[in-house]
Amino acid sequence: MSDLLLDVRGLVKEFPVEGSKDVVHAVSSVDLSVQRGETLGLVGESGCGKTTMGRLVLRLIDPTAGSVIINGQDLGSLSREKLRKVRSTMQIIFQNPFASLNPRMSVEEILMRPMRIHLRIAGAERSKRVDELLEKVGLRPEHRSRYPHEFSGGQRQRIAIARALAVEPAFLVLDEPTSALDVSVQAQILNLLRRLQQDLGLTYLFISHDLSAVRHMSDRIAVMYLGKVVELADSETLFAAPKHPYTRALMSSIPVTNPRLRRERVRLTGDIPSPINLPSGCAFRTRCPWAEQRCTREEPALLDERDADREHLVACHFVDQIVSSEAPTP
């Protein structure tokens, strides 16, 4: 198990609701692992807890329960000082490059600051590395003295990537890294992220609501719904043979860029329930066309339902019946 980079066990995060005893169940007992050099995709709709997961994994927020183990170290057991050191090995890219870069710092300052904090290298060396970083992300040396407002959204995201790489991390959390960008620019950034992964042997946790981007980037994909992982498989298997009814609905909802393939959708009725009052039993049952009595009473466990030699985890009582049937019309 030496190639395990990230191991998440029983992770729970509840946020208090102001002025009440209620809590928001953002993440409810999630287990995940990421191998070194792999990209794990985390996909789901708004409110599913995927962004909270990213924050928890880096310990930018403290979990209510459970543990995050990176490189064999349990982040919860580390002192502040030790945690700060471990942080240089893990970085995050945010969705909005207009908000994640300090507008009053030049590109040079933005890139040198993390080096000054985390790396013990001389000023001249830092300055030299700025040029290397800019080249790595497809920017030019003359960009170093400019300020964020002088760049387009795509270029800003390149700067954010360069900043993350400045401390030579092994692991990046990519939280909707291209959602704020135009498609033609999104493709540039996805290509860049892939090339960097190949060149530098990086490990990614790729968080997105965009299934096609997740499929493109990920080796394995975890589908989240209301704070839980409902299905997890390698991306080929997941797209070829999704088993959880939510995954199936999600996939048939993606607009496909082929007008001849206007498919019959697995139509989901209704909206995502509130994460404050989770439904009893299976959280998806309120929208599931296959839901039965048992789903109300009993929460399905995430079990291996593989058909081939590769892991395929699904949390559904009726996997076998559902896979071989069409959705009943609501």
The residues of the shown chain that bind another protein, judged by CB under 8 A, are 45-46, 152, 154-155, 182-188, 190-191, 194, 209, 211-213, 215-217, 235-236, 239, 249-262, 265, 267-268, 271-272
Residue 191 C-beta: closest distance to another protein, Å: 6
Using the minimum distance from each CB to another protein, give the nearer residue, 73 or 96: 96
What's the min distance (Å) between Cβ of 256 and another protein?
6
CA–CA gap between residue 29 and residue 301 (Å, rounded): 11
Q: What share of the chain is helix, strand, coil (3-state, %, to 5)?
A: 35, 20, 40
Q: What own/partner pairs with CB < 8 Å and gap ≥ 24 does 317-322 have?
A: 317/282, 317/292, 318/290, 318/292, 319/243, 319/244, 321/290, 322/243, 322/245, 322/248, 322/290
- Minimum distance from residue 182 beta carbon to another protein (Å): 4
Nearest approach in angstroms of CB 87 to another protein is 31
Closest to another protein by CB, 68 or 134:
134
Where are the alpha helices (H) located in the chain, listed in sequence order? 50-57, 80-87, 107-118, 123-136, 153-165, 183-200, 211-217, 235-240, 245-253, 293-297, 319-323
At 173, is the secondary structure helix, strand, or coil? strand
- Distance, in Å, from the CA atom of 157 to the CA atom of 163, rounded to the nearest integer, reads 10
Residue (85 or 310) nearer to another protein, CB: 310
- In whole angstroms, the minimum distance from the beta carbon of 269 to another protein comes to 8
Angle at CA of residue 64, ends 60 and 68, nearest 5° = 55
Closer by beta carbon to another protein, 171 or else 206? 206
Q: How far is the CB of 211 from another protein (least distance, A)?
A: 6
CB of 123 to another protein, least distance (A): 32
Q: Of the two residues 106 and 197, which places its CB atom closer to another protein in the complex?
A: 197
Cα 110 to chain center, whole Å?
24
The candidate with the shortest Cα–Cα distance to 250, out of 44, 51, 53, is 44
Residue closer to another protein, measured from CB, 203 or 235:
235
Beta sheet of 23-35, edge-to-edge order:
23-35, 4-16, 65-70, 73-74
Q: How far apart are CA 42 and CA 150, in angstroms?
A: 32
Toward another protein, which CB reaches closer, 211 or 313? 211
Cβ closest to another protein, residue 91 vs residue 208: 208
Name the minimum Å distance from CB 273 to another protein. 10
